[in-house]
Protein backbone atom coordinates (compact mmCIF):
# COMPACT_ATOMS: atom_id res chain seq x y z
CA UNK A 1 0.00 0.00 0.00
CA UNK A 2 1.37 3.37 -0.99
CA UNK A 3 0.68 6.19 1.42
CA UNK A 4 0.21 9.69 0.06
CA UNK A 5 2.98 12.13 0.83
CA UNK A 6 2.22 14.07 3.97
CA UNK A 7 2.00 17.81 3.62
CA UNK A 8 4.62 19.72 5.59
CA UNK A 9 3.47 20.94 9.00
CA UNK A 10 2.52 24.55 9.41
CA UNK A 11 5.68 26.52 9.96
CA UNK A 12 6.16 28.33 13.27
CA UNK A 13 6.63 31.81 11.74
CA UNK A 14 3.19 31.80 10.20
CA UNK A 15 1.55 30.70 13.43
CA UNK A 16 3.53 33.29 15.40
CA UNK A 17 1.13 36.25 15.02
CA UNK A 18 -1.74 34.20 16.46
CA UNK A 19 0.09 32.93 19.54
CA UNK A 20 -1.34 34.31 22.80
CA UNK A 21 1.55 33.57 25.16
CA UNK A 22 4.45 36.01 24.96
CA UNK A 23 6.89 33.34 26.19
CA UNK A 24 6.01 31.19 23.19
CA UNK A 25 6.41 34.14 20.80
CA UNK A 26 9.85 34.86 22.33
CA UNK A 27 10.97 31.26 21.99
CA UNK A 28 9.71 31.12 18.40
CA UNK A 29 11.53 34.34 17.48
CA UNK A 30 14.80 33.01 18.85
CA UNK A 31 14.49 29.80 16.84
CA UNK A 32 13.13 31.06 13.51
CA UNK A 33 15.59 30.97 10.64
CA UNK A 34 15.48 34.50 9.24
CA UNK A 35 14.88 34.34 5.49
CA UNK A 36 13.08 36.50 2.96
CA UNK A 37 9.94 34.43 3.58
CA UNK A 38 9.97 34.64 7.38
CA UNK A 39 11.17 38.24 7.71
CA UNK A 40 7.73 39.88 7.20
CA UNK A 41 6.32 37.77 10.04
CA UNK A 42 9.24 38.69 12.29
CA UNK A 43 8.75 42.38 11.47
CA UNK A 44 5.13 42.20 12.63
CA UNK A 45 6.53 41.52 16.11
CA UNK A 46 7.99 45.07 16.18
CA UNK A 47 4.44 46.07 17.19
CA UNK A 48 3.90 43.27 19.71
CA UNK A 49 1.99 44.03 22.91
CA UNK A 50 4.85 42.67 25.03
CA UNK A 51 7.84 45.00 25.40
CA UNK A 52 10.25 42.10 25.82
CA UNK A 53 9.24 40.62 22.46
CA UNK A 54 9.69 43.99 20.72
CA UNK A 55 13.11 44.48 22.32
CA UNK A 56 14.10 40.94 21.38
CA UNK A 57 13.28 41.55 17.71
CA UNK A 58 15.73 44.45 17.51
CA UNK A 59 18.34 43.43 20.07
CA UNK A 60 18.78 39.77 19.18
CA UNK A 61 16.91 38.55 16.12
CA UNK A 62 17.54 41.33 13.59
CA UNK A 63 20.93 42.33 14.99
CA UNK A 64 22.24 38.80 14.52
CA UNK A 65 21.28 38.91 10.82
CA UNK A 66 22.40 42.43 9.97
CA UNK A 67 25.99 41.59 9.09
CA UNK A 68 27.71 41.73 5.75
CA UNK A 69 30.34 38.98 5.77
CA UNK A 70 33.27 39.18 3.37
CA UNK A 71 32.46 37.78 -0.08
CA UNK A 72 28.99 36.68 0.96
CA UNK A 73 25.42 37.71 0.49
CA UNK A 74 24.17 40.23 3.05
CA UNK A 75 22.31 38.90 6.07
CA UNK A 76 18.52 38.82 5.92
CA UNK A 77 18.27 42.01 8.01
CA UNK A 78 21.01 43.93 6.19
CA UNK A 79 19.67 47.12 4.56
CA UNK A 80 20.57 45.82 1.09
CA UNK A 81 18.42 42.72 1.64
CA UNK A 82 15.37 44.70 2.83
CA UNK A 83 12.84 46.66 0.84
CA UNK A 84 12.50 50.38 1.45
CA UNK A 85 9.15 49.76 3.16
CA UNK A 86 10.73 47.20 5.50
CA UNK A 87 13.58 49.58 6.38
CA UNK A 88 11.07 52.34 7.05
CA UNK A 89 8.96 50.02 9.23
CA UNK A 90 12.01 49.01 11.29
CA UNK A 91 13.10 52.61 11.87
CA UNK A 92 9.60 54.02 12.51
CA UNK A 93 8.46 51.26 14.86
CA UNK A 94 11.79 50.99 16.67
CA UNK A 95 12.66 54.61 17.27
CA UNK A 96 9.02 55.57 17.81
CA UNK A 97 8.33 52.91 20.44
CA UNK A 98 6.91 54.01 23.80
CA UNK A 99 9.45 51.99 25.82
CA UNK A 100 13.01 53.37 26.22
CA UNK A 101 14.48 49.83 26.25
CA UNK A 102 12.98 49.09 22.81
CA UNK A 103 14.16 52.44 21.44
CA UNK A 104 17.66 51.70 22.74
CA UNK A 105 17.71 48.24 21.12
CA UNK A 106 16.44 49.70 17.84
CA UNK A 107 19.06 52.44 18.00
CA UNK A 108 21.79 49.86 18.51
CA UNK A 109 20.49 47.88 15.52
CA UNK A 110 20.30 50.97 13.28
CA UNK A 111 23.77 51.95 14.49
CA UNK A 112 25.01 48.55 13.30
CA UNK A 113 23.54 49.39 9.89
CA UNK A 114 25.43 52.69 9.84
CA UNK A 115 28.72 51.15 10.90
CA UNK A 116 28.56 48.77 7.93
CA UNK A 117 27.90 51.45 5.36
CA UNK A 118 30.60 52.08 2.78
CA UNK A 119 30.76 55.76 3.70
CA UNK A 120 31.58 55.03 7.35
CA UNK A 121 34.07 52.33 6.41
CA UNK A 122 35.92 54.80 4.16
CA UNK A 123 35.91 57.74 6.57
CA UNK A 124 36.09 55.83 9.84
CA UNK A 125 33.59 55.66 12.72
CA UNK A 126 34.63 59.10 13.99
CA UNK A 127 32.72 60.69 11.09
CA UNK A 128 29.46 59.85 12.91
CA UNK A 129 30.39 61.64 16.14
CA UNK A 130 28.85 64.96 15.08
CA UNK A 131 25.51 63.25 14.35
CA UNK A 132 25.24 61.31 17.59
Q: Which residue has the higher pLDDT, 14 or 108?
A: 108
pLDDT band at 52 (very low <50, low <70, confident <90, very high): very high
- 5 pLDDT higher than 60: no
pTM: 0.73
Burial class (CB in 10 A: 0-12, 13-18, 19+), 118: exposed
- 129 pLDDT higher than 80: no
Using only C-alpha atoms, the chain has a radius of gyration, in whole angstroms, of 17
Domain ranges across the chain? 24-128
Please, where are the H alpha helices in 12-78? 12-15, 22-31, 39-44, 51-56, 63-64
pLDDT band at 64 (very low <50, low <70, confident <90, very high): confident
- 71 pLDDT higher than 50: no
Amino acid sequence: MILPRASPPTSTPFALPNELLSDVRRAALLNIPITAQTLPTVLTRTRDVDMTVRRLVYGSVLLAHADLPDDAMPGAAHPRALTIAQREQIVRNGLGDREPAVRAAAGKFIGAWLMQSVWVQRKGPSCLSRYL
